[in-house]
A and B are shown apart, each in its own frame.
Chain A
Amino acid sequence: MRSNRILTVLTVISALAILAAAVMALWVAPSAAGLTSNETFAQRIIYFHVPIAWLSMLAFGVTMIGSIGYLVSSKRNWDNLAVSSAELGLIFTLATATSGAIWAKPAWNVWWTWDPRLTTYTIMFLLFVAYFMLRGAMEDPARRARFAAVYGIFAFLSVPITFMSIRWWRTIHPVLIDPNEGFGLSAGMMTAFFFALAAFTLFYVVLLMHRYRLEQTAEQVESLKEQINY
């Protein structure tokens, strides 16, 4: 029961942190200089869009770790972790691609371009969709976990290569971290940005813990049902 209490506390903290991050992003952070009013307004998406994009990467990475863990140990826990994280990744990649498109309209004057990052996140979304379609097409839990793990590893490794290939194709996405110029944000913006990043990461961890617990419980219910021949 103690882990439940910790989870409750973390859930409350992460809800408050997300609220605070919204306040900081919309009111506290200074406006960007040298942009038209529409663009200045749109620029504030960075406090939402970039953390979400980072979380999709993190979710994908955790899925891959869970996949490798399952293949090495054959323990269901690892598969539960992989599927929990993949489900969050599905939502986050969709949110990244959608919020990117919303930002692209005022900034680039089109909803959609075949920019490397936008395209890569869309492909990541499709990889997650394929991952769940694969899982949905099998009944036997052990086989489902094994096949999904193999697919998860392939999918994760293909993402950087996909990104490189589309980047060489052509690129117009703003580079936030340019090694020659340092960070492209002023001090006030940085505070809000890193706060938002931390808040969203905590949010992901809390969601993952809830989802993992649900998956574990579902597994227990399954085995109990089997015991009483339900």
Chain B
Amino acid sequence: MRFWKIVAAIIGKDIRAELRTKDIFSSMFVFALLAVIVFNFAFELRVPSMKMVVPGIVWVAVTFAGTLGLNRAFVIEQDKGSLAGLLLAPVDRAAIYFGKMLGNLIFITVVEAILLPLVMVFFNLSLLTGPHLLALFLGTYGFAAVGTIFSAIAVNTRAREVLLPVLLFPVLLPVLVAGVKMTGSLLDGESLSSLANWLRLIALYDVGFTVVAYLTFGFVMEE
């Protein structure tokens, strides 16, 4: 019980800090929106129907915006010296991981909650259904689970935020492949049960990497 109290305290701290400045959230959201608009012009004349590229647009916009948010998650902690404070606190390192990870997950989810209705308006599609949200959530969770530990690694290197996408994207590929495939199939009118394979794959990814991150985060934070 104490473990989850600590986790909740870290999430609360991140949200309160974010509500004061709204730095991360506003840049993530504006960036995601810009990505959607840029992709619209990049594809419009070359594809017969925008419906064919919308799944890719949504997932790439979320991934890029999410990377932007992840970069800030630990950079801010380090610049303000609060990372040392977190590490000095007599708590399990895994609790720090889950706190930061769930905080990132919440930020990205909020961005998605505003982005999706806009995408629906722009492209005249229905994306706010149960199966769509489930697919999006599973993908976003995988992104946050892997992204949080990688951003903790990247922030301690010389290159800092430049390194994060290089580390993250090759490992993240299954999430993108499964996510685009699921969103695309659902838009084509297939049922959720026909996507059981993909759901299982992404669930395996989420659970597996949460466990690995839980086991290895202590080594990343060992200073």
Using a CB–CB distance below 8 Å, which chain A residues touch chain B?
71, 123, 126-127, 129-130, 133-134, 137-139, 143, 146-147, 149-151, 153-155, 157-158, 161-162, 164-166, 168-169
Contacts and interface: CB of A to CB of B under 8 A. Distances in A.
A133 B154 CA distance: 11
A93 to B, nearest CB: 12
Given A150-B220, A153-B216, A154-B212, A130 B167 contact: yes
A102 to B, nearest CB: 23
B181 interface: yes
Given A137-B159, A154-B209, A157-B209, A165 B174 contact: yes
30 contacts: A71-B219, A123-B170, A123-B173, A126-B170, A127-B170, A129-B166, A133-B163, A134-B157, A134-B163, A137-B157, A137-B159, A138-B157, A146-B220, A147-B153, A149-B219, A153-B212, A154-B150, A154-B209, A154-B216, A157-B209, A158-B170, A158-B171, A158-B173, A161-B205, A162-B174, A165-B174, A165-B177, A166-B177, A168-B197, A168-B198
Interface of B: 146, 149-150, 153, 156-159, 163, 166-167, 170-171, 173-174, 177-178, 181, 197-198, 201, 204-205, 208-209, 212, 216, 219-220, 222
A165 B170 CA distance: 13
A89 B159 CA distance: 24
B93 to A, nearest CB: 13
Contacts, number: 85
Contact of B201 (A127, A146, A161): A161
Contact of B171 (A129, A138, A155, A169): A155
A137 B154 CA distance: 9
Contacts of B158: 137-139
B65 to A, nearest CB: 21
Given A130-B167, A133-B166, A143-B156, A150 B201 contact: no
A143 B173 CA distance: 27
Nearest to B205: A161
Contacts of B205: 161
Given A123-B173, A162-B173, 12 more contacts: A71-B216, A127-B170, A129-B166, A133-B159, A133-B166, A134-B167, A137-B163, A150-B153, A150-B216, A155-B170, A164-B174, A165-B201
B204 A161 contact: yes
Nearest to A119: B173
B216 A169 contact: no
A14 to B, nearest CB: 31
